Amino acid sequence: MSEPSVGKGIDRVDARLKVTGKATYAAEVAVANVAHGVIVCSGATSGKLASIDVKDAMRTRGVLAVITHENAPKLAKPSKQNTPQDKILQLLQDDVIHYADQPIALVIAESLEAAQYAASLVTASYAGGGTLLSDLAATPKGDAYAPKKAGPSGEAATVRGNVELGLAAAGVTKIEATYSTPVENHHPMEMHATIAVWQGNDRLTVYDATQGIFGVRKRLATIFGLDPEKVRVINHFVGGGFGSKGSPWSHVGLAALGAKMIGRPVKVMVTRQQMTSLVGHRPKTIQAITLAADKLGRLTAIRHAVTSETSRFDEFVEPAAVQTRMLYSCPNVETSHHLVRLDIPTPTFQRAPGESTGTYALESAMDELAYALNLDPLELRIRNHAATDEQEKKPFSSKSLLQCYQQASAKFGWARRTPKPRSMRRGNLLVGQGMATCTYPARQSPSSAIATIAADGTALVRAGTQDIGTGTYTIMTQIAADALTLPVERVKFELGDSEFPETPVSGGSQTASSTGSAVKLACLELRKHFAAIAIDDPASPLHGLTLDAIDAADGALIAKAKPSLRDPFVDILRRAGKTELAADHKTIPSEEQKKFSIHSFGAAFVELTVDEDLGLVRITRIVSAYAAGKILNPKTARSQFYGGIIWAIGMALHEETVRDTRTARAVTRDLADYHVPVHADMPDIDVIMVDEVDTHVNEIGAKGIGEIGITGAGAAIANAVFHATGARIRDLPIRLDKVLAPGRA
């Protein structure tokens, strides 16, 4: 009997396509007679478009159309949002300006070069506009308001116990601090792009760089008044999205609008500069945290108040306090979220939205409390380990955080650390070591798949999900191979087409748990179909058995009581006169799951050096341990953990979108100015995957891993900087000017 594939670190099944350049991304799809669209963006930040002059653009050779609010057809429901995650789009339906670089025209030409040149000739004038607000930190406190919800689900504010009593208890040590995280942009390697092709007036095919093909289908159907079944969205590969491609943006609708107006396919590709305005960003946060603990280091009170930015015309909440509700044991906890409306584009999800920014603040505050108590930061966390989710009053489905602490700290050598700041040196460099807790929820959404076995014994499994670079093609192939008891080489998994069974967005670290469960159950359902045929077939060795008496192994059905009685899938099909047999399945989260709090956990330990003369911070090594249920493929999983940790390095030390306060326009508009970590910045990264069995989380026992790597690690870096220098830097990113600046301790 062949060994299971799940749990093995096999190579990516799509690796050869990617390394040879044969993987086709949205902008690369060969579509006949395609025209090129270029978006013209607003030069004003607010007010109205007083006039727009397109005459010179229209006279440019090769230009087919210039669409503005003056000639764009009125759409059915341009601002209708199908889900809370959908954003209000700007589709040239009026003259109102909401933010700098808002789309005000779409130039369509025979070539990209002609469209770009003609777009440069469009001029506009503006009127009106009030007082400009572009900086969260500079707005009056009275401008903040409380939203109804924080995150995909959950209350914006929570209270348990009495924080004031917890703060006033005898003998407690209290710390109060405010932490801030900057605006960040996603900047995936693949920029956003859409090719729209109309078949007649009521059928639309779109090739879109998206993390959610079904969300795009529903949104375009709503905008253009179409039956969703008449909108087809295709996307076989995504070159990174990190949340920005989680919902459709204006360029998607504009591509379809342009294609409809000129009667031929149109491709619209967002420029690197437009990535800072047209496809969302991580909002700036200001987080006030108060912690109190008794003499033994047991938390008596936590208060976590988050203020973040949103646009004037839409709403997005960065739910940075949600993990604070459950991460540590504490009888008195208050969390809250507030928003301030600014003259900016609408923010959106960015890798581990909420938990990445929130764990930076909470875990930095925990480090400050540890020093105030003269207690080891790891020991403080162990003493406040939460055995249950005290906010939800539920047990955890599984929790191996203590094992993460133990394994990562041992591998790191934490016990050899001297606790006093500025006490460790390497030559003329200060050495700092810091740690933090990591966490991210394990989600599952309804999902579907279909599995087919052909007469030659090969299997084809389909689900309309997306591979955003995480290895979805590979792990789904492994899951299907095991469920069908076939070698991986005999299984093909296809995705990225809205005509396939519906799946959720590839975001929130839920693809493996949602679609992986659907794939497994569809394959098991297919085995039942084969068994039913065999049971009724007098020529089958399994004739007359019950379904419960039949198992599968090596591409055949077998009798559980007598495994020598076997009937290969190919023989069952041949005798039945069938060329193939298929089965589908739709999964939904079980009622059992509602009884548990379901999260992944981890621990990050960081060592770095600081040149105190130059303020340069260099991370030398990171050791992290994660407990995330069943690891489906250790090779692709390790890459996911690495990716999250590298994002944390960027968040802590490099990334910041800077706005011109006079215009609210981003001035860090490309990768020359928006700094991200590169190969030269990479330390030695050691990832430990802690064995964890979770029988409650889903049908495959796996928790999401795409985002947990960024949580906690940013705080661990900041805590290591403090240990090295004695300077507590509470606003990210930690750059040399802040390390050198006085008054930071």
> pLDDT tens, 287-333?
999 999 999 999 999 999 999 999 999 999 999 999 999 999 999 99
| Token pair of 340 as six digits | 């301030």
Q: Is the pLDDT of residue 1 over 90?
A: no
Q: In this structure, are 449 and 355 located in the same domain?
A: no
Q: How far apart are CA 696 and CA 716, in angstroms?
A: 31
Location of structure tokens 């030398």? 620
Q: How far apart are CA 531 and CA 516, in angstroms?
A: 23
Q: In this structure, are 650 and 573 located in the same domain?
A: no
Strands, DSSP E only, in 123-243?
123-127, 158-160, 173-181, 193-198, 204-208, 231-234
Is 429 inside a domain boundary? yes
Domains contained in the chain, number: 3
Sheet (strand 96-97) strand order? 96-97, 47-53, 123-127
DSSP 3-state helix, strand, coil percentages of the chain (rounded to 5)? 30, 25, 45
Q: Is the pLDDT of residue 139 over 90?
A: no
pLDDT band for position 196 (cuts 50, 70, 90): very high
The structure's pTM equals 0.97
| Cα torsion 111, 113, 114, 116: sign | positive
Q: In this structure, are 90 and 217 located in the same domain?
A: yes
Q: Any residues with CB less than 8 A from the CB of 461 and at least 6 apart, and which?
A: 449, 450, 451, 452, 476, 477, 480, 491, 492, 493, 494, 519, 522, 523
| Per-residue confidence (pLDDT) for residue 152, from 0 to 100 | 75
Pairing mode, strands 566-568 and 429-441: unpaired
* Whether the Cβ atoms of residue 641 and residue 709 lie closer than 8 Å to each other: yes
In the chain, % of residues over pLDDT 90:
96
Pairing mode, strands 285-293 and 173-181: antiparallel
Is 354 inside a domain boundary? yes
The domain boundary, picked from 230, 256, 276, lies at 276
Q: In this structure, are 634 and 567 located in the same domain?
A: no
CATH of residue 266? 3.90.1170.50
Of 414 and 151, the one with more pLDDT: 414
Q: In this structure, are 223 and 290 located in the same domain?
A: no
Is 164 inside a domain boundary? no
Q: How far apart are CA 642 and CA 607, in angstroms?
A: 16
Q: How far apart are CA 227 and CA 469, in angstroms?
A: 31
* Whether the Cβ atoms of residue 175 and residue 192 lie closer than 8 Å to each other: no
Q: How far apart are CA 469 and CA 492, in angstroms?
A: 18
* Whether the Cβ atoms of residue 106 and residue 41 lie closer than 8 Å to each other: no
| Per-residue confidence (pLDDT) for residue 557, from 0 to 100 | 98
Q: How far apart are the first and last CA of the chain?
A: 63
Q: Is the pLDDT of residue 390 over 50?
A: yes
Q: How far apart are CA 15 and CA 714, in angstroms?
A: 31
Is 609 inside a domain boundary? yes
pLDDT band for position 151 (cuts 50, 70, 90): confident
> pLDDT tens, 206-218?
999 999 999 999 9
Instruction: Determine the structural domain holding residue 249 and report its residue range.
Output: 31-130+189-240+245-276
CATH of residue 474? 3.30.365.10
| Per-residue confidence (pLDDT) for residue 745, from 0 to 100 | 42
| Cα torsion 485, 488, 492, 496: sign | positive
Q: What does 358-426 look like in DSSP terms, one character per residue?
A: HHHHHHHHHHHHHHHHT--HHHHHHHTB-SEETTTTEEBS---HHHHHHHHHHHHTGGG---STT--EE
The domain boundary, picked from 566, 588, 610, lies at 588
Q: In this structure, are 348 and 428 located in the same domain?
A: yes
Give CA separation, 84 vs 49, 89, 250, 333, 443, in Å. 29, 13, 16, 27, 17
Q: In this structure, are 548 and 611 located in the same domain?
A: no
The domain boundary, picked from 520, 555, 588, lies at 588
Q: In this structure, are 505 and 423 located in the same domain?
A: no
Q: Is the pLDDT of residue 493 over 70?
A: yes
> pLDDT tens, 39-94?
999 999 999 999 999 999 999 999 999 999 999 999 999 999 999 899 999 999 99
In the chain, % of residues over pLDDT 70:
99
Is 144 inside a domain boundary? no
Q: How far apart are CA 250 and CA 313, in angstroms?
A: 14
Q: In this structure, are 60 and 196 located in the same domain?
A: yes
Is 513 inside a domain boundary? yes
Instruction: Count other Cβ atoms within 10 Å, centred on residue 502.
Output: 17
Q: In this structure, are 613 and 530 located in the same domain?
A: no
Is 59 inside a domain boundary? yes
> pLDDT tens, 596-637?
999 999 999 999 999 999 999 999 999 999 999 999 999 999
pLDDT band for position 742 (cuts 50, 70, 90): low
Is 137 inside a domain boundary? no
Q: In this structure, are 704 and 644 located in the same domain?
A: yes
> pLDDT tens, 519-555?
999 999 999 999 999 999 999 999 999 999 999 999 9
Q: Is the pLDDT of residue 744 over 50?
A: no
Catalytic residue set: 707
Q: In this structure, are 485 and 519 located in the same domain?
A: yes
